[in-house]
Amino acid sequence: MTSLLAVEVPYWGQSLLRVLGGIVAVLLPAGTIVYVFLFKMMSFMQSRLGPMEAGPYGSMQLLAEVGKWLQKEDIIPENADRVTFKMAPLIVLVSTFLLVVVVPFGPDALMTDFQAGIYYALAIGSVSVIGILVAGWSSANKYSLLGGLRAAGQLIAYELPMVLAAVGVVIQAGSMNLQQIVVAQNTYEIFGLDWIGMPFVITQCVGFVIFMIAVQAELTQPPFDMPIAESELVSGYMTEYSGFRFLTFFIAEFATAGVFAFIASVLFLGGWGVPFSWFGWDTVDSVDNWMNVVGPIIMLTKMMLLVGIIMWVRFTYPRFREDQLQQFAWKVLIPVSILNIGVTAILKVAV
């Protein structure tokens, strides 16, 4: 743990690296997602070019946007609850940073090796609800309030299928530690083929689909974007925010998309690892040091793949109505995920 690329790093150095790593792991995906998907993929799907002026193919557009937002006037509505109004975007962004803490990016490239990692991640993931609810209430705006309440109802409803979908993985891996889940996927074998490992997306395909749907709802992306719903609630809880506070919400939205995709790729797609049999490894400690560099790249690739799917759905589907969404969660997703847990548990014991 103390060596990174065969260089001894003192404790303060490790801490610094982890803080930097955390910031990079949150902001880099957010920026990449916004440019690649929100600016470019969306434009190509809609038969237009997207930003083309700032930098080659508009690649500097994001910086221009950030500059624009920072220059804007910071407006706080007169009747708003000032303290909580200012606090809300920070709560949302901080929950994203807390979330990335448990995600492993390599054998040693991780912020913290937490035994109950998945438990922690799913618990912290719903902290953002508080921020959204606070934002909706403190804005002193009816649309914001409706948006905040919708968000609360929706995120609570979709927290459950997400947890239940992850339980299947936990049962199969026999651990709640995200690092152990990665190791399990890369050391297990399926049908006696040890060279492909066993990414749980194969055995837990039902769980994977449920997890991705729940992530979509958790991120309030269409078709589950009733809390934002710009055509009816005029951006819901974000209506009254401007300038850098809106920017904070915006970064948090896409950073959370990235982090949830990281978690999904750890749970279902084998995380940072390659099948250990390729290089003759058997445990985490025996993994070569260069995986600390290759691992994050593998994670980033998988993350982009998953976010690509999330965004693809986002740009295509119209949105549900609030009650239809609740029905979908309680009547379809939760029963199916409970069934999935049962089947997984039986097979785990029987086989």
235 or 292: CB nearest other proteins? 235
71 or 231: CB nearest other proteins? 231
Interaction between residue 225 and other proteins (CB under 8 A):
yes
| Closest approach of other proteins to the CB of residue 315, in Å | 5
Interaction between residue 330 and other proteins (CB under 8 A):
no
Give the one residue of 324, 335, 343, 346 binding other proteins; rule: CB under 8 A: 324
Give the three-class secondary structure for 33. helix
* Contact positions with other proteins (CB under 8 A) in 226-285: 226, 229-234
21 or 50: CB nearest other proteins? 50
Cα angle, residue 157 at apex, residues 185 and 251 outer, rounded to 5°: 70
List the one residue out of 127, 148, 319 whose CA is nearest residue 240.
148
Give the three-class secondary structure for 74. coil
- Which residues in 185-220 are b (16+ Cβ under 10 Å) and which e? bbbbeeeeeeebbbbbbebbebbbbbbbbbbbbbbb
Backbone angles phi, psi at 88, to 5 degrees: -55, -50
Q: What is the dihedral of CA 189, 192, 196, 202, to 10 degrees?
A: -70
In angstroms, the CA 342 to CA 164 distance is 11
234 or 338: CB nearest other proteins? 234
* Contact positions with other proteins (CB under 8 A) in 103-142: 142
**Helix/strand/coil percentages in the chain, nearest 5:** 70, 0, 30
| Closest approach of other proteins to the CB of residue 232, in Å | 4
Interaction between residue 74 and other proteins (CB under 8 A):
no
What binding mask, one character per residue, do residues 140-179 give for other proteins by CB under 8 A, x or -? Answer: --xx--x---------------------------------
What secondary structure, in 3-state letters, does 207-221 show? HHHHHHHHHHHHCCC
In angstroms, the CA 93 to CA 137 distance is 18
232 or 288: CB nearest other proteins? 232
41 or 123: CB nearest other proteins? 41
Interaction between residue 319 and other proteins (CB under 8 A):
yes
Q: What is the total count of residues that contact other proteins (CB under 8 A)?
A: 28
Interaction between residue 5 and other proteins (CB under 8 A):
no
* Contact positions with other proteins (CB under 8 A) in 34-63: 42, 45-48
Window of 25-33, 170-178, 181-189, 220-228 that interacts with other proteins by CB under 8 A? 220-228
Interaction between residue 332 and other proteins (CB under 8 A):
no
Q: What is the CA radius of gyration of the chain?
A: 21
15 or 46: CB nearest other proteins? 46
| Closest approach of other proteins to the CB of residue 308, in Å | 15
Give the one residue of 11, 56, 321, 351 binding other proteins; rule: CB under 8 A: 321
240 or 322: CB nearest other proteins? 322
How many other C-beta atoms are found inside a 10 Å radius of the C-beta of residue 231?
A: 9
| Closest approach of other proteins to the CB of residue 72, in Å | 19
Give the one residue of 63, 82, 316, 335 binding other proteins; rule: CB under 8 A: 316
List the one residue out of 237, 250, 248 whose CA is nearest residue 141.
237
Please say whether the beta carbons of 306 and 265 come within 8 A: yes
State the residue for tokens 């705006």: 141
The DSSP symbol for 193 reads: B
Q: Which residues bind other proteins (CB under 8 A)?
A: 42, 45-48, 142-143, 146, 222-223, 225-226, 229-234, 315-324
